[in-house]
Structure 1
Amino acid sequence: MKEDKAALLHQFIVVEGNIGAGKTTFCKMLSAQHQYRLLLEQFADNPFLPHFYKNPDRYAFPVELFFMTERHKQLQQELGQHELFQKGIIADYLFVKTLLFAKNNLNPEEYRLFQRLFHILNASFPKPDLLLYLHRPVEQLLPNIRKRGREYEQEIAPAYLQQIQQAYFDFFRSNEQMPILILDLGGQDFVADRKAYFRMLEIINRPYPAGVHREAL
């Protein structure tokens, strides 16, 4: 199949999704094809993450605090360089992800404190031209998680993934400041199936006004 080299419409694209949805893989493919600057979350550097999956009550606050400070530092360094937008940026996370996961994982007292810190740090970041959410049902996420073989992820419960998904959808319904595209992937493997990948490109490379939009692959 002939590869589509047409320029992307959106200069700053953020790809979100549940654990195992394929967001980082898609970002790498899109960046390689269109020479966009690639901004990936360094989640493996969080020393609390393996402990969190074994004992979430004890390690929820330090794991979320570490994620927030590291994401803020990375975004401040990368998005503060305005000349980068001349060739485009694609990122595999939005800073608000910090708040969504924290709300799901922290107790009410911890979350209130965390929320105050988040809003202070979030004030200066530009909004993406398109927020793309790759949606897969929870039962299709679990095989992906097992296949990539991260030991600390193997005990993730379906209920936890369902909670994360709901947190994203609640955020989308309350946000009208940016274009949000929910793309239902179903069981499509866009890595093995190039037609599926180029269909994804066709869908995202459209103008979307602010608000929530939903398409199926």
Structure 2
Amino acid sequence: MVIITAGMIGVGKTTLTGKIADHLHTQAFFEPVGENPVLPLYYKNPKQYGFLLQIYFLNKRFSMIKKALNDDNNVLDRSIYEDALFTRENNAEGNISDTELDVYLKLLDNMMADLKQLPKRAPI
């Protein structure tokens, strides 16, 4: 089982993720914000870097969910499953073009298909 916390910025996802992981004695996977080289660029120029930021997050989240699915009871602070919502919002705000959104969504669909084919662990 993988538990995912979701919500807007600043609502306490990271704190909740850590507490759940501690309670279950398992691993927490946190959103890669501090090590993100694209985020400062995005804040300076969202129209230029909106697509790059979403691709960066998608790649990191895809890697995290694959690692989390290899064990039982891991907890994720944000995930690939909600990522398209933020990408669509960037599109609505004009930070990502319709073409970029289409490319992003097709890539996401391919990644989701790969996740469905990962071997399932037997329940405890």
Out of 6, 11, 14, the residue aligned to residue 24 of structure 1 is 14
Q: Which residue of 1 aligns with 2:33?
A: 43
Q: Within 2, Cα distance between the matches of 1:91 and 1:13?
A: 6
1:99 aligns with 2:84: yes
Instruction: Give 1:99's aligned amino acid.
Output: A
Larger Rg: 1
Unaligned runs of 5+ in 2: 91-95, 117-124
Unaligned runs of 5+ in 1: 1-10, 127-217
Q: Within 1, Cα distance between the matches of 2:98 and 2:37?
A: 24
Structure 1 stretches of at least 4 aligned residues deviating more than 3 Å after TM superposition: none
Out of 66, 69, 72, the residue aligned to residue 59 of structure 2 is 69
How many residue pairs match? The answer is: 111
Q: Which residue of 1 aligns with 2:44?
A: 54
Out of 3, 23, 32, the residue aligned to residue 13 of structure 1 is 3
Q: Within 2, Cα distance between the matches of 1:39 and 1:28?
A: 9
Contact preservation (8 Å) 2:4, 2:79: yes
Q: Which residue of 2 aligns with 1:5?
A: none
Instruction: Give 2:85's aligned amino acid.
Output: L
Deviations along 1:46-105, one digit per CA (max 9) or x if unpaired, are 2110111121001101111111112112222332x2xx21xx121111212221111111
Which is bigger in relative contact order (C-alpha 8 A, separation at least 6)?
A: 2
Out of 72, 95, 110, the residue aligned to residue 120 of structure 1 is 110
Instruction: Give the RMSD, CA atoms, in angstroms.
Output: 1.6
TM-score computed with the length of structure 1 as normaliser: 0.48
Percent identical residues = 26
Higher strand share: 1
Contact preservation (8 Å) 2:17, 2:75: yes
TM-score computed with the length of structure 2 as normaliser: 0.80
